[in-house]
Amino acid sequence: MHRDHEFDVVVVGGGPGGSTVSTLVAMQGYRVLLLEREEFPRYQIGESLLPSTVHGICKLLGVEDELKKAAFMPKRGGTFRWGSNPEPWTFSFSVSSTFSGPTSLAYQVERMKFDQILLENARAKGVDVRERSSVADVVEEDGRVAGVVYRDADGVRHEVRSRFVVDASGNKSRIQSRIGGTRHYSDFFKNIALFGYFEGGKRLAAPNSGNILCAAFNSGWFWYIPLTDELTSVGAVLRREALDRVQGDREKALMGLIDECPLIAEYLSEARRVEDGPYGEVRVRKDYSYCQDTFWRPGMVLVGDAACFIDPVFSSGVHLATYSGLLAARSINSTLGGDIDEAKCFAEYESRYRNEYSLFHDFLVAFYDMHQDEDSYFWTAKKVIDSSAPGLESFVDLVGGGASREGGLVNAASYTEHRETDFQEFSELANRPAGENGTDRDLFDSTLVQSVLEEGAKIQVHAALGGAVDDEGPVRDGGLVPSADGMRWAEFAY
pLDDT in tens, 442-484: 434 434 334 434 444 443 444 444 334 444 678 788 899 988 8
CA gyration radius, the chain: 22
**Counting beta carbons within 10 angstroms of the beta carbon of residue 437, is it exposed (0 to 12), middle (13 to 18) or buried (19 or more)?**
exposed
Instruction: Compute the distance between CA of residue 302 and CA of residue 186 in angstroms, rounded to an integer.
Output: 19
State yes or no: pLDDT of 433 exceeds 70.
no
Torsion of CA 355, 356, 359, 360, to 10 degrees: -140
Which residues, other chains included, contact 268 with Cβ-Cβ below 8 Å and sequence gap of 6+? 198, 201, 202, 232, 234, 258
**What DSSP letter does each residue of 132-189 carry, written as one string?**
S-EEEEEEEETTEEEEEEEE-TT--EEEEEEEEEEE---TT-SSGGGG-S-EEEEEEE
Nearest 5°: CA angle at 188, between 185 and 191? Answer: 80
Cβ(15)–Cβ(117) below 8 Å: no
For residue 379, what pLDDT is reported? Answer: 52
Least confident of 189-198, 265-274, 334-343, 356-365: 356-365
For residue 107, what pLDDT is reported? Answer: 94
Split at pLDDT 50, 70, 90, the class of 429 is: very low
**102-116, 258-272, 423-437: which is most confident:** 258-272
Q: Mean pLDDT, the chain, as a whole number?
A: 80
% residues pLDDT > 90 (the chain): 55
What is the per-residue burial (b if ≥16 Cβ within 10 Å, else e) of 93-129?
A: bbbbebbbeebbbbbbbbbeebbbbbbebbeebebbb
% residues pLDDT > 70 (the chain): 75
Verify cis geometry, omega within 30 degrees of 0, for the bond prior to 74. no
For residue 208, what pLDDT is reported? Answer: 93
Q: Terminal CA-to-CA distance of the chain, rounded, Å?
A: 52
User: Which residues, listed in sequence order, are joined to residue 81 by a DSSP beta bridge?
Assistant: 215
For residue 103, what pLDDT is reported? Answer: 67
3-state secondary structure of 11: strand
Beta strand extents in 6-126 (DSSP E only): 7-12, 32-36, 73-75, 77-81, 89-92, 106-108
Least confident of 151-165, 176-190, 277-291, 380-394: 380-394
How large is the average pLDDT for residues 253-261? 96
How large is the average pLDDT for residues 70-89? 84
**What DSSP letter does each residue of 217-237 carry, written as one string?**
ETTEEEEEEE-SSSEEEEEEE
State yes or no: pLDDT of 417 exceeds 80.
no
Split at pLDDT 50, 70, 90, the class of 360 is: confident
Least confident of 67-81, 122-136, 394-408: 394-408
User: Which residues, listed in sequence order, are joined to residue 199 by a DSSP beta bridge?
Assistant: 231, 272
For residue 449, what pLDDT is reported? Answer: 39
3-state secondary structure of 380: helix
State yes or no: pLDDT of 35 exceeds 90.
yes
Instruction: Compute the distance between CA of residue 172 and CA of residue 20 in angstroms, rounded to an integer.
Output: 19
Least confident of 17-26, 265-274, 328-337, 485-494: 485-494
Q: Which tops the pLDDT comparison, 263 or 421?
A: 263
For residue 463, what pLDDT is reported? Answer: 40
Cβ(147)–Cβ(162) below 8 Å: yes
For residue 139, what pLDDT is reported? Answer: 97
For residue 142, what pLDDT is reported? Answer: 94
312-357 residue pLDDT tens: 766 778 988 998 999 999 999 999 999 899 999 999 999 999 988 8
For residue 374, what pLDDT is reported? Answer: 36
| Domains in the chain with CATH codes | 2-68+108-180+294-335 (3.50.50.60), 184-288 (3.30.9.100), 361-490 (no CATH)
State yes or no: pLDDT of 437 exceeds 60.
no
For residue 380, what pLDDT is reported? Answer: 60
**What DSSP letter does each residue of 26-56 carry, written as one string?**
HTTT--EEEEESS-SS------B--HHIIII
How large is the average pLDDT for residues 232-261? 91
Nearest 5°: CA angle at 94, between 414 and 471? Answer: 5
Least confident of 28-37, 93-102, 110-119, 278-287: 93-102
Instruction: Compute the distance between CA of residue 335 and CA of residue 337 in angstroms, rounded to an integer.
Output: 5
